[in-house]
Structure 1
Amino acid sequence: MPHATRSPGLSKGLPTGAVIIPAHNEGKVIGRTLDSLKDVISAGSVDVIVACNGCTDDTESIASRYRGVKVLHVKEASKTAALNAADDATELWPRLYLDADVELNSEALHAVFKALEAGPLLAARPAFRYDTSGASVLVRAYYRARNRIPGNAQGLWGAGVYAMNADGHERLGEFPALTGDDYYVDRLFQPAEKAVLATDPVVVRTPRSSRALLAILRRTYRGNQQQGPSRGPLSTSSGTATSTARTLQELAVSVRGPVSAFDALVYAAFAVIGRCGAFFTGRASSSWERDESSRQ
């Protein structure tokens, strides 16, 4: 198994922990993601684990080229199986779970780990920014509106990255076989137990086409339907309705002129169509349904 080459200067300032990257046919982007972690990998104080699951492309071979990265082979094409297998492959805490197409630098990782080591937080994530390069006019409008809604930036979900310390993970146990692991984890914690930190933002590349965006929204809303009421301290039968009402209110308040009004209308239209699509397609889709346009 490849081993890390330690960099004394960096490892002294970097807390220990693990970065877990579930990857299914991510050969186009896994190198970019691991390149963003090259300082962390070279320091050797953090376990960087790529859990390749059901891959039929070169994801596993590309990840194996990075000296110091643990590469797991999970036969089943399942994000849940990949996350649980990677949890079993490390004993270090805190643990940061990173989508294979999201870039994270060492400073942001450092801030998240330090916050979770110091307490009282149980879960946290870094800030993020959307990269809408190459996206259509409607997709860019959707994400401009989304950026103006405060509630969308305050949860652990939606950024492709979140982390927990040992106490937080104990509340989770194992990852359940549900779509939307970040949404599920977010609902386990009260506001005082989780935080979005003011770090260098991770880069989240958005879908480029309306069709690709709708595919992601259908998957998101379908995952929310699967999960139902939270089993954590925020459990409430009216939680989803309350969240939707709050989002609509924040969306209305975000309108400041013709451009923001157009953006709000586009956002609402995508939300309605996405929810309807999730309702009619049910639960038949794969847990790895995703946007391919941003991976080109």
Structure 2
Amino acid sequence: MTPVASVVIPAHNEEAVLSRCLGLLLAGTEPGELDVVVVANGCTDGTARVARESGARVVETATPGKANALRLGDAECLTFPRVYLDADVELTAASVRALVAALARPGVLAGSPVPEWDVDGASRTARRVHRVHERLIGPRRALAGVGVYALTEAGHARVFPIPDVVADDELVNRSFAPDERVVVPEARSVVRPARTIRAHLRRRVRVRLGNRQLEAMGLPAHGGRLGLGSIVGLVTTRSVSPLDAATYLAVLLADRSMSRNATTGAPQIVWTTDSSSR
């Protein structure tokens, strides 16, 4: 049968989580319903073997790097729309079908699922930070930060071949006007955020470097910056507790300090894996 969508999964040493990702993605599908391409790049583990055993097509390269992996996998895709999925994120075939249906609407070029945050195993402090962060960022996230985005053929032409950027999902998000992208309520992705504050801070520094790079490329963020008033508003409406807010602010100060101390030039494009969330 003709695939309803192609799915590209860049994977760098993801042996521990890839079987779960592919198992959920392919469960209940008809043979050939999804065209799944896993790009094992710079791997020193059994990522490629796991991908083959799960029924995916595999591209192997010794060069690590997510953007390069996305380009290699994209070149092997058989059809549109195309779904780009992080190896540590869970997405079912039903969610892929919902994304495909949403992308068939007139004027829609890109889409993403609604994320569900699995904080099992996270420290109490990390849970407080994630709670506030999600209340602040969730309503404005769109295509970035959910581990999945999907593109129509016209949307794909706007962003591919994707350049060497730190934050590919944010680049995609900024490449479309709000009325060209859609968050699909019927689709869900399961995302595992950092389990420790140290891991969270490493992620945040990378996000800030990625945002800085996109701004230098002439891709500013949509909307204004969130300020202290937004956090106060969450406390006032009892969306978060005062302790949650205080914890978030303390970690935010550390985040900004670390980001200022990071390189001020072009961010080094490296592949990193947060072992705390595996």
TM-score (norm: length of structure 2): 0.91
Equivalent in 199, 211, 236 of residue 224 of structure 1: 211
Cα root mean square deviation, aligned: 2.2
| Identity %, equivalent residues | 35
Equivalent in 238, 255, 259 of residue 274 of structure 1: 255
Partner of 1:288: 271
Secondary structure of the residue aligned to 1:129 is: strand
Secondary structure of the residue aligned to 1:288 is: coil
Equivalent in 141, 148, 159 of residue 172 of structure 1: 159
> 2:213 touches 2:267 (CA, 8 Å); kept in 1?
no
Partner of 1:3: none
Aligned residue-pair number: 275
> 1:22 touches 1:82 (CA, 8 Å); kept in 2?
yes
Partner of 2:54: 66
Partner Cα distance (2:249, 2:128) in 1? 11
Partner Cα distance (1:131, 1:252) in 2? 26
- The one-letter code sitting in structure 2 at the alignment partner of 1:101 is D
- The one-letter code sitting in structure 2 at the alignment partner of 1:66 is S
Deviation, 1:157, is 0.5
Partner of 2:175: 188
Partner Cα distance (1:243, 1:40) in 2? 42
Partner Cα distance (1:260, 1:156) in 2? 28
Deviation, 1:138, is 1.0
Deviation, 1:275, is 2.7
Contiguous gaps of at least 5 residues in structure 1: 1-5
Q: Which has the higher mean CA deviation after the structures are superposed, 33-42 or 146-155?
A: 146-155
Partner Cα distance (1:258, 1:179) in 2? 32
> 1:147 touches 1:153 (CA, 8 Å); kept in 2?
no
> 1:108 touches 1:200 (CA, 8 Å); kept in 2?
yes
Q: Establish whether residue 254 from structure 1 lines up as the match of residue 234 from structure 2.
A: yes
CA offsets per residue over residues 23-68 of structure 1, 9 Å max, x none? 000011000100111236543122111011110111011111123x
CA offsets per residue over residues 72-100 of structure 1, 9 Å max, x none? 11220011111000111013101111000
CA distance 1:269–1:43, change in 2 (3 Å): farther
Partner Cα distance (1:258, 1:85) in 2? 43
Runs of 4+ in 1 over 4 A off after TM superposition: 150-153, 283-286
CA offsets per residue over residues 257-291 of structure 1, 9 Å max, x none? 49522222222332332232123121565521231
Contiguous gaps of at least 5 residues in structure 2: none
- The one-letter code sitting in structure 2 at the alignment partner of 1:254 is L
> 1:221 touches 1:274 (CA, 8 Å); kept in 2?
no
Q: Establish whether residue 148 from structure 1 lines up as the match of residue 135 from structure 2.
A: yes
Partner Cα distance (2:79, 2:188) in 1? 24
- The one-letter code sitting in structure 2 at the alignment partner of 1:110 is R
